[in-house]
Amino acid sequence: MVATLTFLGAAGTVTGSKFLLEQDGRRSLVDCGLYQGERTWRRLNWQALPVSAGSISDVVLTHAHLDHCGHLPALVREGFIGPTWCTPGTAALAAIVLRDSAYLQEEDAENARLWGFSRHDPPRPLYNAADAEKAITSFKPLDYHQHCALQSGAHLSFSRAGHILGSACALVTIGGGTVLFSGDLGRTRHPLLLAREAPPPAQSSSSRPTATAPTQPTALSPTRSWPRPSVVPSSEAVRSSYPLLPWTAPSWCYTPSASSPRPARYPRYRCTWTARWPWPRLTCIAAILWARTCALASPPAWWISQTCTQRTAQRSRCG
């Protein structure tokens, strides 16, 4: 059976990175990130993946940012029991990030319960601290340039990406082809981090594309000429003029087209929390009204000046 590459996240946006590699019914997931930003994207964190979490054999993390690892505790909660491959630096940082994220998830749910701004009773977090600890125990550190055979039958090796501590590009060999997942790339010069390495050779590469995609996975064909995607922003370009592993986005991922334009962004001065809960806005209005009331209640400058002049004149007559 041919290998397929499916984009389960980071389609139409740059968060929620999830790339599913599948061959002969065995699956590996490269990155497992949270959607962040507008409410339109954050609601996708609550949607179930199109494949069962228990059917995924391995997870590979490129680095420890939340949009690349933050959904892992939710995946564990849904039934994932396999290993999570990452560099030692990513394992150390991701443990901090996931524990902090679980605390914030629980805190948001508690605030929603106390203040009643949730439609659910009781509100529940996306995952809790226990789920984060289970996800952390699944980490399997792998050094740079060390080759490893995944449980799905694929082979993995990391190369330095220079983005943050422990960040890496993941080179996966599967089904007779190789695909390079760049993750996030850093600068060539950095005062603390080593520069990113030249990427290893691959027959396909992925760097969080935001372009349109076919609706169904296409069979791998090493002789087929693949067209470039129709919409490829320069900052998130897909460097794959000859991909051997075709990809597709699920139906619930956003794909820009004339019939489904990009959701309108909120203005800079308005956040989704303020729009949903009016107390911060009312507090600001009350503060402005109080300041204006105090300004009106204080005597004007001309009255103070006239009063001082009269008192000076009275003192001169009396003295």
For residue 255, being part of any structural domain is answered with no
Domain end, chosen from 186, 208, 236, is at: 236
pLDDT for res 65: 96
- Asked if the structure places residue 270 within a domain, the reply is no
Q: pLDDT above 70 covers what percent of the chain?
A: 67
**CA-CA distance, 210 to 229, in Å (whole number)?**
9
Q: Hey, what are 109's tokens? A: 């749910």
Q: What is the rounded end-to-end Cα distance, in angstroms, of the chain?
A: 111
* Listed residues 205, 236, 267: the one ending a domain: 236
- Mean pLDDT along residues 33-59: 93
Domain extent, residue 298, equals: 278-318
CA dihedral 244, 250, 256, 258 (to 10 degrees): 110
Highest mean pLDDT among 190-204, 285-299, 302-316: 190-204
Residues 186 and 305 in one domain: no
Residues 224 and 293 in one domain: no
Helix or strand (DSSP H, E) at 169: strand 168-174
Number of domains the chain is built from:
2
- Triad 138, 68, 124: Cα angle to 5°: 75
Beta bridge partners of 140: 85
In a domain, 33, yes or no: yes
Put the strands of the sheet holding 148-149 in their side by side order: 148-149, 155-160, 168-174, 177-181, 204-206
Position 143 in a domain: yes
Q: Please answer whether residues 204 and 179 qualify as being in contact, where contact means their C-beta atoms are separated by less than 8 angstroms.
A: yes
> Same domain, yes or no, for 227 and 297?
no
- pLDDT tens, position by position, 105-127: 999 999 888 888 777 788 899 99
CATH number of the domain to which 107 belongs: 3.60.15.10
Q: Are 125 and 106 in contact (CB under 8 A)?
A: yes
| pLDDT surpassing 90 at residue 220 | no
Whether the Cβ atoms of residue 35 and residue 42 lie closer than 8 Å to each other: yes
Same structural domain, 118 and 67: yes
Q: What is the pLDDT of residue 115?
A: 85
Pairwise CA distance, residues 215 & 245, whole Å: 15
Q: What is the DSSP letter of 248?
A: -
Comparing 41 with 257, the larger pLDDT belongs to: 41
Picking from 95, 97, 184, 91, the residue whose alpha carbon sits closest to that of residue 142 is 91
Same domain, 209 and 311: no
